[in-house]
Amino acid sequence: MHATSIVVLTGAGISAESGIATFRGPGGLWEGHRVEDVCMPEALARDPALVHRFYDLRRAALADVEPNAAHRALARLDAEWRGELLIVTQNVDDLHERAGATRLLHMHGELKSALCAACGGRREWAAALPPGTVCEACGAPALRPDIVFFGEMPYAMERIEAALSTCDLFVSIGTSGAVYPAAGFVQTARHWGAATLEINLEPSQGSFLFEESRMGPASVLVPEWVEAVLAA
């Protein structure tokens, strides 16, 4: 189809090919860590040192990875396609930005950002973030990783829902289809009449909801799809 407005959702699968471990599965980041210990508000309150150290390590590891062909292809789409585009990522890495994407939002937060638990302010942060770090805006010793924990509301949901309600193509890349609300985006897009495409290494929990699924490496399939969109 000839689209005029596209929403792209990306998940851990797109960054896995750059060497960023997914959270789930053998060798995943949560192997050896319970979700309850590193990605819930209660964990931060109970053991802030553990939670801060966990995300400090993830932030430092970004220096050892680079965007792959799938990130670069989406950045090309962003730069060259004249229609409406919103890239929504569940990932907290910075690989989309480093590839050059700008029409982008991080619904689950960012490793290179700090959030003040007192005033709600957010600021860029590249170094280690020990518990008790002072917020420059309000002076409270309350900076924490700017990560949306389980039980917290993802960022920019109103903007995402608005985009889903007006797009004519929704594309999901490298997602498990297991984490809501993102797992429900395909249903929202279909409700409003959009065509839907899944690009994944293997079928996700929500594959049956998509009109079309393409299975294989994102680094191969995403550049092919972008090439076709730009040639249409």
Instruction: For 121-161, write each residue's pLDDT tens digit.
Output: 999 999 999 999 999 999 999 999 999 999 999 999 999 99
Tell me: pLDDT of 24 over 80: no
Catalytic residue among 52, 96, 106, 108: 108
Whether the model clears a pTM of 0.85, i.e. scores above it, the answer is yes
String of b and e for 2-15 (b: at least 16 CB within 10 Å)? Answer: ebeebbbbbbbbbb
Look at residue 119 and give its three-state secondary structure: coil
Least confident of 19-33, 35-49, 75-89: 19-33
The phi and psi torsions of 53 (rounded to 5 degrees) equal -65, -40
Asked if pLDDT for residue 27 goes beyond 60, the answer is: no
Contact 70, 93 (CB under 8 A): no
* pLDDT (0 to 100) of residue 22: 66
Nearest Cα neighbor of 174 from 61, 85, 87, 101 is 87
Give all strands of the β-sheet with 122-124 in edge-to-edge order: 122-124, 109-116, 143-147
71: annotated active-site residue? no
Q: Specify the amino acid at residue 5.
A: S
Question: In the chain, which ranges are E strands?
Answer: 5-10, 84-89, 104-106, 109-116, 122-124, 143-147, 169-173, 195-200, 212-215
CA distance 232 to 54: 44
What is d(CA 106, CA 54) in angstroms, rounded to the nearest whole number?
19
Q: Which of 25-29, 155-159, 166-170, 182-186 has the weakest average pLDDT?
A: 25-29
Q: 201: left (phi > 0), else alpha (psi -120 to 50), else beta?
A: alpha
Structure tokens at 135: 């917020």
Percent of the chain whose predicted confidence (pLDDT) is above 70:
93
Please give the pLDDT value at position 28: 46
3-class SS at 101? coil
Tokens of 184: 């429900």
Percent of the chain past pLDDT 90, that is, above it, reads 86
Long-range CB contacts (< 8 A, 24+ apart) of 119-128?
122/146, 125/59, 126/59, 128/56, 128/59, 128/60
